[in-house]
Amino acid sequence: MTPPFLKYLSLARNMGPRYLAFRAWHELRRRSGWLRRSFPTRPAPVNGLTALRAWQNSPARFFFDSRESLSFRPSPEPKLEEEYRKIREGKLTFFHSVEINLGPDYDWATHPLTGYVYDTGKHWTEIADFSPQAGDIKYVWEKARFSYLLPVIRYDCHFGQDSSAFVFSEIEDFIDKNPVNCGPNYRCSQEISIRLMNWIFALYFYGQSPELNESRFGKIMQAIYWQVHHVYQNIHFSRIAVRNNHALTECLMLYLAGLLFPDVADFQKWKNKGKKWFEQEVAYQVYEDGTFLQCSMNYHRVVVQLLTWALCLSELNGERMAQIVYERAHGSLRFLRACMDENTGWLPNYGMNDGALFFPLNSAHFRDYRPQLQALEYVLEKQVSGTEIWEDSLWASSGQAALKEAGNTDKVTPSFQAFEAGGYYLLREAQTLTFLRCGHHRDRPHQADNLHLDIWFRGVNLLRDAGSYRYNTEEKWIRYFNGTEGHNTIRVNGQDQMLKGPRFVWFYWTQALEARWEETEECYRFTGTIRAFRHIGRGITHTRIVEKAKNASVWTVTDEIKGIETPLLEQAWHPHPDHTASLSINAKDQDGCPIALKEWEGWHSALYGQKEACPQWVFATQGNKIVTRIESANIGGPGVRSVEPRMDANLSANWREKRGSAD
């Protein structure tokens, strides 16, 4: 067993001196009160902010000049009308997952599940973002993002209605009930940035409405100013201590504030810094092969939407992002589309997924990535591919997006791809997608899931990732969904690949030692080896070989652990519960003897905040090797769609065999 102090030394080495120095400096500022003094409460009104008439006549360009300038054909869908009706009643879909009735007079501070009421008179530095008593703070932040305004705007656009009075009253209500730099809704600068971007979208759409008078606009501008001020004052926390999609969002907001409100002197001072920092963060966070440092499909889509805003709005205003931003945007498109099931637009539910979709501009399923990817494609190429133009592309183009001339896509040539910087290895055939992760972590991992294997057949995710569930919940759920047990890979002696620390921290990061594809006459073969389980002992490696038969839906998976004598191996699989009958799976140990299949109670979270009981298949043996054969029977037809997430409390009795770790 590795000495405990070494885990902190390992973490310090991984995070680097810049991170450690900043955390120490930030903690000193917090404890001394210096940090608090940078964020005033009850500030005096700022002079020199843009007036309504000046803003309406400003040369600054948005995606569209006003609702009157939009040229795409209305499509009044009943689904959108129903969503609009519920929003007006105070019923919001949180995280694109669970509908919660907040009522029409929500106070912006009450946790809808726990009933805990945050103190909106308390300075934001005194608000805890992780509190067992309060519950997951994301449930309070969700409405305050104001993403729900975009379905309202879409409704008005497609149904020819005017909800400007409602929209501006919602914004004013937030301003009145959330004093500057106080309460939970000033706790996170990214949440502030998302809120402002959605407010700006609404301002442009309703910019000519009689409901937007000088007094109301002035009040909103004061609120915008102090929120941008907050983002600027705390930007280095995101750029150094967090360094993920938070930093990208906040840097972009600083740039957009100066771009879209050019008359505000401070915004102009912060604009160039925001642009420079955004370019730097894109270059750092999106790797050279188009993969993303957070190892998360959903957070990568967040980046796609931010890139769409950054590239489109800079160009519309006669500016241009650095060339590397364009290169990483193209790379992101290539990578995400390589991982996407073409029948459904869904990707593996891989990595952390908190239900984020900042700008919901279509009625497709949350897991369908095609609308957002196509919108970025339009910004990059000024035309789009696919069989239809998604609504996101219409908003990005003010209705001008056009389809490329379709090429011959009838036949898919089998191909394997290696995205080595991010550690993703894919095999795509006409009816199957084989997805593996074998990553060398240069940035902190969030889940212990190296060598995870996803298998898709005709649009069905047969063997899948368990998902994320919630970030602030009971320890057993965090360990299951973020740990090795929630993935299709191996545990050793009941342990995760890495040692779990507090919150999002993992000690002893796994690292890929080799990863490669090769082709033989009979199969496509992936071989990957990682260094792992260092908290159990040094020198332990896990090698996984996946052989996919040609012209057959058969996979042979060989897992071998070296560096430890006769460990207990548990090879876990998470099958789609509606398709277990179509899967044949069996395994043998290192001596060629069959291993009995155990069906335990497992869990799946397709959407944030939801979990459902489902089978987990486990092969357990005392030894160093497991060889597993997986075969899929024919499922449906080539156009079958993935089954949408569902909640199901009915559990077959034998799933309860599992140890009591997830009761």
420 shares a domain with 350: no
At a CB cut-off of 8 Å and minimum separation 6, what does 414 contact? 427, 428, 429, 430, 524, 550
Whether 120 and 216 map to the same domain: the answer is: yes
On whether both 359 and 422 belong to a single domain, the answer is: no
Among the candidates 365, 397, 429, a domain finishes at: 397
Counting as low any pLDDT under 70, the low residues of the chain are 1-5, 406-412, 635-663
Residue 288 lies in a domain: yes
pLDDT (0 to 100) of residue 151: 99
Expressed in percent and rounded to 5, the helix, strand and coil fractions of the chain are: 40, 20, 40
Count of domains forming the chain:
2
Distance CA 637, CA 645 (A): 20
Contact between residue 492 and residue 569 where contact means Cβ atoms under 8 Å apart:
yes
* Residue 407, in any domain of the structure: no
Angle, helices 323-339 vs 370-381, to 10°: value is 150
Quick one: pLDDT at residue 233? Answer: 98
Quick one: 56 and 155 in the same domain?
Answer: yes
Q: Is residue 403, in this structure, part of any structural domain at all? A: no
- Residue 451 and residue 490 in contact, taking contact as beta carbons nearer than 8 Å: yes
Pair of tokens at residue 484: 């090795």
Residue 145: alpha-carbon gap to chain centroid: 15
Domain endpoint, select from 340, 367, 397:
397
Q: 50 near 221, Cβ under 8 Å?
A: yes
How distant, in Å, are the alpha carbons of 219, 265, 551, 618, 622 from that of 627? 66, 66, 21, 13, 13
Q: Looking at the structure, tell me whether residues 388 and 503 fall in a common domain.
A: no
- What does the pLDDT read at residue 411? 57
CA distances from 178 to 51, 183, 443 (A): 23, 7, 35
Kindly state the helix (H) or strand (E) to which residue 545 belongs, with its residue range: strand 541-549
Residues 187 and 240 placed together within one structural domain of the fold: yes
Q: What does the DSSP assignment read for 282-348?
A: HHHHB-TTS-BTT--HHHHHHHHHHHHHHHHHHHHTT----HHHHHHHHHHHHHHHHHS-TTT----
- Residues shown for the chain: 663
Amino acid at 244: N
- Cβ 234 vs Cβ 189: under 8 Å: yes
Q: Is 6 a member of any domain?
A: no
Final residue in a domain of this structure, among 397, 425, 457:
397
Q: Please indicate, yes or no, if residue 402 is contained in any of the structural domains.
A: no
Q: Are 158 and 76 a contacting pair, CB within 8 Å?
A: yes
Could you tell me the CATH number of the domain that includes residue 552? 2.70.98.70
pLDDT of residue 2: 62
What are the Cα distances from residue 400, in Å, to 63, 231, 371, 389, 403? Answer: 11, 34, 15, 10, 10
Does the residue 337 lie in any domain?
Answer: yes
User: CA nearest 297: which of 328, 359, 249, 340?
Assistant: 340
For residues 177-204, b (16+ Cβ closer than 10 Å) or e, as one string? ebbbbbbbbbbbbbbbbbbbbbbbbbbb
Per the listing, tokens 């997430």 go with 645
pTM for the structure as a whole: 0.94
Question: Using an 8 Å Cβ cutoff, are 613 and 620 in contact?
Answer: no
Cα(591)–Cα(27) distance, integer angstroms: 55
Q: Give the structural domain span for 624.
A: 415-657
**Pair (445, 591) in one structural domain:** yes
pLDDT recorded at residue 242? 93
Structure tokens at 165: 């009075």
431 with 535, same domain?
A: yes
Q: Which residues pair with 511 in a beta bridge?
A: 440, 531
99 and 22 housed in the same domain = yes
Domain harbouring 99, CATH code: 1.50.10.100
Question: Does residue 541 share a domain with residue 425?
Answer: yes
Do residues 369 and 429 share a domain?
A: no
- Report CA torsion sign: 79, 82, 86, 91: negative
The answer on 434 and 305 residing in a single domain is no
pLDDT score at 114? 95
The answer to the question of residue 2 being in a domain is: no
Instruction: DSSP for 14-47, please give it.
Output: HH-HHHHHHHHHHHHHHHHTHHHHTS-SSPPPPT
Cα–Cα distances in angstroms (integers) from residue 284 to residues 140, 292, 335, in the given order: 31, 9, 17
Tokens at 174, concatenated: 């937030």
Find the angle CA(339)-CA(371)-CA(457) to the nearest 5 degrees: 35
pLDDT attached to residue 5:
67
575-581 long-range contacts (CB < 8 A, ≥24 apart) are: 575/462, 575/463, 575/464, 575/614, 575/615, 575/617, 576/460, 576/461, 576/462, 576/463, 576/464, 576/643, 577/604, 577/614, 577/615, 577/648, 578/643, 579/460, 579/462, 579/635, 580/615, 581/633
Domain assignment present for 663? no
